[in-house]
Amino acid sequence: MALQTAQPATCGPQCPPSAFRSDVMYCWLTGTMRRARGRVVETSDLCSPPKEDLMAEMLPDSDTIPSVRDVLRRERCSLLQAGVAMLLYALCQTSLPIIMLMVILCVETTGTEFQWLRAWTNMDSLIYWLLSYSLLQAAAAVANHWQLHASFHVGQRVRAQLIMLVFRKALRVDPQRRESVGHTLTLMASDSQKFLEAMPFIHKLWGSPLQIVIAAFALALIDVVALSGVVVLIAVIPISKNLAKRMQRFRQQHLRFTDQRVRMCVELLEGIRCIKFFAWERPYLERVFQKRRHETHWAMRESLVYSISMLVTVLSPTLAFAATLVAFSLLGSSFTATRLFGTLALLNALRFPIMDLGSMLASIVALHTGWLRIQHFLELAEGGVPVAPIEDQTELKLENCTFSCYSGAVECFQLSLRTTLTAKRGDLVLVLGRVGSGKSTLLQGILGEIHRSSGHLAVRGGVAYCAQQPWIRNVSLMDNILFGEELDDEWYNKVLDACALGPDLKQLPHGDQTEIGERGVTISGGQKQRVALARAVYQRACSMVILDDVFSALDAHTSSHIVRALFQGPQALLRDRAVLLASHLTACAGEAQRVLLLGQKDVSTQQSSLLFDGDWLDLCKHPDLLSLLGHVAWLHMANLQGMYAAEIIRACFPSMELKTVAVLEWGSAVWCP
């Protein structure tokens, strides 16, 4: 079934409507800061996200996966707003040194330079230039923060959409082309993060060169010799780039040893009981400390390079100004307050645009690399199960399919089914076989989780799946069962009773509202299995249910109760759905319309095939039943008393020598030849 877009458990107040004062001064944060003062911030303290920022609005469900370019194209309006703010910031930032030059000209009344500016520079206009400087400084700050806020907002939206696209694609990609879990997690955690980090630099690609050109032109107006300071700033770029590369290399080594130390600590904590028993604390701690020493060594080298890089950034305007003074002296240019202060102001304005070029280009390159990696993943061939038009009431149709499991590019297991399997509403298909015969492979192949190399497969509607290893969320028991669906009290209580969860709820401290922990750590294996089964049964929108050995962790009494409630009688909860059940339990075999027996004809090969296809009575009369089922065979005696089981077994198999016949009270018999 598809995951539903759930609403947050607790929603804070609505974000105030957008207004100029609120956008400029960030007044919409005032209420949140006031509520969070003096106590721990809760989710309810934060404003609810706007509707346009919800994933359902940004990326609605679709059968097609959009490209990265499509995601960015939807954000072009917000990017345009950030571009306008960047243009305003660049103009204000480069105008500030020029206005400072005008202020100096107003004060320096005895100079003979810049006569073409003297008409606008006198003591009467000084107050206007000072006021203009203050307003431009404030406008530059507002524009810069507005640009950063808009860019980070776009980056966060793009990152969230890319994570969801990778997640959706991972569910659809063909199993043969499927990437490793680590690679998929890297795309979601690291490559998508590059878009968030690079968004503030997108508009600096043209904003920084614009600032450099305007400032260089202003320096040329002061004196061509002043451009020597620009040359020094440009010469510092390779040094900063080299330091950045070295710092990145040290950072990688630092993180490598950090990962090793954390992994070693996790292993130590997981095996702490054994370590305590054998008094191995000292050698293990010494190994951890050794990794920590290596980690600290590379962290110190990284910090040293970072300090040198910051020193170069801080001293670069001073070095550029010193180079300008030397050039003035060597070329005989006059030293005046106008030239000196104007040159210093313009060189200081050039510092950040030039010094940011290295990190800006690095971020753009990282963004491009992440773009290509994510786009390549989104373009992988999709597998899945086609939803094709099939006969009325038929939920599954499978014809001569071969399913292949791969380890990397090498096929490690193959299941071949040379038959036609159809399952209609109300049908129960029982899949039997030894361990490793391919029962789970068949079910996962129907789900599209395993590559289908040949044959035809079609599914009509939704599928509810309960795996052999139950998947439990870190939420309440009720939320685990509902799984995003609305609560129907009557149906919910029926499901709880059918899955024998009623007595367990009485033992839990808060009933079905009890938090059962990550992976169900607070409940037993049988309880986890029944919770996962109840989740699949509750999904009435799914017309087909696939159950993979759901009775393996249950005792005979509980299994008998669940079989009766789900499959037997007119009140069975799954009577109107198609069910595929892989199990060793044959108590429900009498209710099965079809039985598939899987196995390996040659144990030396990693290939499995269909050994039997028919109903349960035909399988019981098969002359090679024992060789098919193995050393222990199970026989369900439908509508018969358990006391007659042994007689019927001997009548069906007169040549068999029975050493032990164990009759179970829920209507089955097991014999051991």
Residue 87 pLDDT grade (very low, low, confident, very high; cuts 50, 70, 90): very high
- Most confident of the ranges 362-366, 522-526, 611-615: 522-526
Lowest mean pLDDT among 265-274, 297-306, 524-533: 265-274
CA distance to 546, 620, 657, 660, 673, per residue, from 653 (Å)? 33, 10, 9, 14, 11
CA distance 12 to 516: 26
pLDDT on residue 573: 92
* pTM assigned to the model: 0.67
* 605 compared with 54, residue with greater pLDDT: 54
* 301 compared with 626, residue with greater pLDDT: 301
Residues 382 and 174 sit within 8 Å (Cβ to Cβ): yes
Which residue's entry shows tokens 């105030």? 16
Lowest mean pLDDT among 130-139, 195-204, 305-314, 377-386: 377-386
- Most confident of the ranges 55-59, 197-201, 250-254, 518-522: 197-201
Token pair recorded at residue 460:
């009509």
Q: Which percentage of the chain shows pLDDT scores above 70?
A: 80
H or E element that contains 158: helix 126-172
Q: Which of 578, 584, 231, 284 is nearest to 435 (CA)?
A: 584
pLDDT on residue 114: 63
Residue 294 pLDDT grade (very low, low, confident, very high; cuts 50, 70, 90): very high
Mean pLDDT of 119-147: 85
pLDDT on residue 644: 42
- Most confident of the ranges 106-115, 448-457, 644-653: 448-457
pLDDT on residue 117: 66
pLDDT on residue 666: 37
The contacts of residue 101 (CB under 8 Å, 6+ apart) are 218, 222, 338, 341, 342, 345
* 210 compared with 388, residue with greater pLDDT: 210
* 289 compared with 189, residue with greater pLDDT: 289
Pick left, alpha or beta for residue 455 (phi over 0 → left; psi -120 to 50 → alpha; otherwise beta): left
Own/partner contacts of 144-151, CB < 8 Å, gap of 24 or more, are 144/85, 144/89, 146/23, 146/24, 146/82, 146/85, 147/82, 147/85, 147/86, 147/89, 147/200, 147/203, 148/200, 150/78, 150/81, 150/82, 150/85, 151/79, 151/82, 151/199, 151/200, 151/202, 151/203
* 664 compared with 564, residue with greater pLDDT: 564
CA distance 30 to 11: 18
**Beta strand pairing call for 633-636 and 668-672:** antiparallel
Residue 493 in this model has a pLDDT that exceeds 90: yes
Residue 2 pLDDT grade (very low, low, confident, very high; cuts 50, 70, 90): very low
Residue 216 pLDDT grade (very low, low, confident, very high; cuts 50, 70, 90): confident
Residue 494 pLDDT grade (very low, low, confident, very high; cuts 50, 70, 90): very high
Residues 530 and 499 sit within 8 Å (Cβ to Cβ): yes
**Mean predicted lDDT score pLDDT of the chain:** 79
Residue 267 pLDDT grade (very low, low, confident, very high; cuts 50, 70, 90): confident
Residue 643 in this model has a pLDDT that exceeds 50: no
pLDDT on residue 388: 56
pLDDT on residue 631: 38
Mean pLDDT of 207-220: 83
**For the segment 409-461, what is each residue's pLDDT rounded down to a tens digit?**
566 788 888 888 888 888 999 998 888 788 888 998 888 888 888 888 888 87
Residue 127 pLDDT grade (very low, low, confident, very high; cuts 50, 70, 90): confident
Residue 326 pLDDT grade (very low, low, confident, very high; cuts 50, 70, 90): confident
Q: Which of 382, 388, 391 is nearest to 448 (CA)?
A: 382
pLDDT on residue 465: 93
CA distance 579 to 9: 34
pLDDT on residue 577: 92
Residue 580 pLDDT grade (very low, low, confident, very high; cuts 50, 70, 90): very high
Residue 661 pLDDT grade (very low, low, confident, very high; cuts 50, 70, 90): very low
Counting beta carbons within 10 angstroms of the beta carbon of residue 329, is it exposed (0 to 12), middle (13 to 18) or buried (19 or more)? Answer: exposed
Residue 137 in this model has a pLDDT that exceeds 70: yes
Instruction: For residue 319, give the 3-state DSSP assignment.
Output: helix
The contacts of residue 166 (CB under 8 Å, 6+ apart) are 184, 187, 188, 192, 374, 377, 378
Residue 173 in this model has a pLDDT that exceeds 70: yes
Write the single-letter amino acid at 106.
C
* Torsion angle of C-alpha atoms 164, 170, 171, 172, degrees rounded to 10: 110
**For the segment 350-399, what is each residue's pLDDT rounded down to a tens digit?**
777 877 776 777 778 778 888 888 898 888 877 655 555 566 678 888 88
CA distance 244 to 411: 44
CA distance 461 to 463: 7
Q: What is the Cα 310 distance to its own chain's centre? A: 35
Residues 542 and 483 sit within 8 Å (Cβ to Cβ): no
Residue 478 pLDDT grade (very low, low, confident, very high; cuts 50, 70, 90): very high
Q: What is the Cα 632 distance to its own chain's centre? A: 45
The contacts of residue 342 (CB under 8 Å, 6+ apart) are 97, 100, 101, 104, 218, 222
pLDDT on residue 116: 61
Residue 535 in this model has a pLDDT that exceeds 60: yes
pLDDT on residue 544: 92
H or E element that contains 662: strand 660-664
Write the single-letter amino acid at 503.
P
* 102 compared with 605, residue with greater pLDDT: 102
Taking the chain, what is the end-to-end CA distance rounded to the nearest angstrom? 44
Residue 664 in this model has a pLDDT that exceeds 50: no
Residues 341 and 105 sit within 8 Å (Cβ to Cβ): no
Q: Which percentage of the chain shows pLDDT scores above 90?
A: 14
Token pair recorded at residue 145:
């923060």
H or E element that contains 441: helix 439-447
Residue 97 in this model has a pLDDT that exceeds 90: no
Mean pLDDT of 165-174: 84
Residue 1 pLDDT grade (very low, low, confident, very high; cuts 50, 70, 90): very low
Within 10 angstroms of residue 375's Cβ, the number of other Cβ atoms is 13
Which residue's entry shows tokens 């079989």? 563
pLDDT on residue 525: 85
Residue 24 in this model has a pLDDT that exceeds 90: no
Mean pLDDT of 641-645: 43
CA distance 340 to 47: 50
Residue 176 pLDDT grade (very low, low, confident, very high; cuts 50, 70, 90): low
